[in-house]
A and B are shown apart, each in its own frame.
Chain A
Amino acid sequence: MPRAKIYGYIAVIVATLMGLVFVYYAFIHYDMYSSVHFSSIDTGAYWAVVLPIALVTLFVLATCFWVGYTILTIKVAPPMPEIVEKKDNSKFKAFLLCLVTIALAVWFVYGLYHHSYLAIAIPAACITLVILGMIFWVGIAIITTRSTLKKDK
């Protein structure tokens, strides 16, 4: 097997295993009701861990809100009637997106304030799984790509 493909398989296996291990230990194995609670952790240590996750999460939520707000408020000329095929409900969906992101942001900040485990674990899982998912994707691409050039190239 070509060396590149071996590394592709390694990327896929490592990303999958890390994802599974993360999900298992973060959500299945961890008993969030009986284990040591975040509130018992020193405040400085807590915020050192939480702050990067909080910044990324709030950035993502702010971006989602901005998308919704832009769709909701952008002013453009109406389309030619002949090309309107169905009713455009994107403004309603944009409004919902704004509401959902505000609700999530409020829930997240409330969770942080009360040292909630899930408020940290869910965004951390999302960030980790997105990165691992990308590594998995690249791994699959390496495996499925020809590792040598065609003879005529």
Chain B
Amino acid sequence: MKICLLSYRGNPYCGGQGIYLMYLARELAKLGHEVHAIVGPPYPFPVEGVTYHYVSNHNYFNIKDFVKPHKPFATFNPLNFYEFAASKLGIFPEIESFSFRAYSKLRQLLKTHSFDVIHDNQCLGYGFLLIKQFGIPCISTIHHPLTIDRSTWFEYPSSFFLKTKRILYYPLVMQKYVANTMDLIVTVSHDSAQEIYNAFGVPLEKQRVVYNGMDSSIFNPVKLPKRHNSLIFVGNVEDRKKGVIYLLKALTLTRHKVYLTIVDGGAPNRNYVPRWIDKFNLNEQITFTGKIPLDKLVQLYAQTQIALCPSLYEGFGFPAAEAMACELPVIASTGGALPEVVGQHMKTGILVPPRDPYALAEAIDFLIENPDIRNRIGKAARQRVLKTFTWENAARQMVNVYQEAIDAYR
């Protein structure tokens, strides 16, 4: 099968979508399929068997000095100028502009290649309306609808101006429209499928659930001494749906003095959570690592007693699965798909209601006081990940979805 994957950000360090692209492409190639990927910056690392085709953008939304010395007039290119203007008006145009650039790149590629299926990775830009005209089945993975991100932002106190910015930021109208034109939608959990139906109106019959995998060759238990009363949280602390504020509050409620390590690649530039750490007087209990390599993360998991996922919502929850693969007991909220990933309460993890710092504190104390249960849950968690979440399974199921889309097209 000749597969063309599209991802507006390709690098695995830029979030779940980069990880998804890297592993899915690698496993599809291993299964013997011809895999091409059209990717936007930050670009992915080379993967054996995958041919990458790069499209650029100027990242006007995030970069202040947007004029490149070697291309000073690039902003006057019509698509770039649209991207620039939209960014300055508070709209996030990267997704939409990527879709148009991907269309141009595909048109060029189709002169020398033929693809059986085009698989978009949560872009859903208007450019897909043009891509559909190529007559190739188009499917899209939606990890979770962005309506969730918007509503979780609104749960936190903020000004009218910030709320306005958030509404303009998320391209929900476009994604809703484009999602309904796709041949099939793939999502990563049953909870996410329901949310996609609620937010975008995509019928459940048009959606297929393919669980993400977990690289258990990287994430595995390492024998290192555990630090006393140690906790770990992995994720972007500024992302309101991660529920970090509730975690901080929980740390003020635990009977035992616990020490939390926060692994957040963007940590030096964060300001919201550090302000609350000061207010809750938790400075001596919390350490930020900043961006660290994967081997260091695995080492940290090995040295820590409990992993925490207090998210208000997760479409899947890679950090929970990673910690579980490292035999770490996870305390997760029941937000979104976390129960699907973590599994049975008290067997493969501990589940608490989201937005409940008291329940979270109680669960932390319980696991601190019961090392045997910690070990038992950690071991069971790894077994669950090895059995349920492998990229090979994900790729095989994805091929079935591709075949279904191709058969329906004929």
Interface residue ranges, A against B (CB under 8 Å)? 4, 7-8, 66-67, 70-71, 74, 76-80, 82-86, 88-90, 93-94, 130-131, 134, 137-138, 141-142, 145-149
Contact = CB atoms under 8 A, between A and B. Distances in A.
A130 B152 CA distance: 32
Given A7-B73, A82-B249, A142-B72, A67 B164 contact: yes
B65 interface: yes
Interface stretch (B80-88, B282-290, B390-398): B80-88
Given A77-B355, A80-B249, A141-B66, A4 B73 contact: yes
B399 interface: no
A83 B160 contact: no
Nearest to B72: A4
A52 B163 CA distance: 30
Contacts of B167: 66-67, 70-71
Contacts of B164: 67, 71
28 contacts: A4-B73, A7-B73, A66-B167, A67-B168, A70-B167, A71-B160, A71-B163, A71-B164, A71-B167, A74-B154, A76-B152, A76-B155, A77-B155, A79-B156, A79-B157, A80-B357, A83-B245, A84-B157, A93-B160, A134-B85, A137-B88, A138-B81, A138-B84, A141-B67, A142-B72, A145-B67, A147-B72, A149-B69
Contacts of A147: 69, 72
A145 B69 contact: yes
B70 interface: yes
B67 A83 contact: no
A110 to B, nearest CB: 27
B45 interface: no
B366 interface: no
Nearest to A149: B69
A29 B99 CA distance: 45
A137 B88 CA distance: 10
Nearest to B165: A67
B271 interface: no
A148 B70 CA distance: 7
B245 A80 contact: yes
Contacts of B157: 79, 83-86, 88
Contacts of B158: 88, 90
Nearest to B159: A90
Interface of B: 65-67, 69-70, 72-73, 75-76, 81, 84-85, 88, 151-152, 154-160, 163-164, 167-168, 245-246, 249, 276, 312, 355, 357
Nearest to A8: B72
A39 to B, nearest CB: 34
Contacts of B151: 74, 76
Nearest to B354: A77
Given A79-B155, A134-B88, A94 B72 contact: no
B163 A90 contact: yes
B65 to A, nearest CB: 6
B318 to A, nearest CB: 24
A71 B168 CA distance: 11
B270 to A, nearest CB: 16
A111 B164 CA distance: 28
Q: Among B66, B73, B76, B164, find the residue whose CB has the most chain A CB atoms closer than 10 A.
A: B164
Contacts of B154: 74, 76
Nearest to B172: A70
Q: Among A74, A86, A89, find the residue whose CB has the most chain B CB atoms closer than 10 A.
A: A74
Contacts of A78: 155
Given A67-B168, A149-B69, 20 more contacts: A4-B73, A7-B73, A67-B164, A71-B160, A76-B151, A76-B152, A76-B154, A80-B357, A83-B276, A85-B157, A90-B160, A90-B163, A94-B163, A134-B85, A138-B67, A138-B76, A138-B84, A146-B69, A147-B72, A148-B69
A80 B168 CA distance: 25
A46 B280 CA distance: 64
A77 B158 CA distance: 14
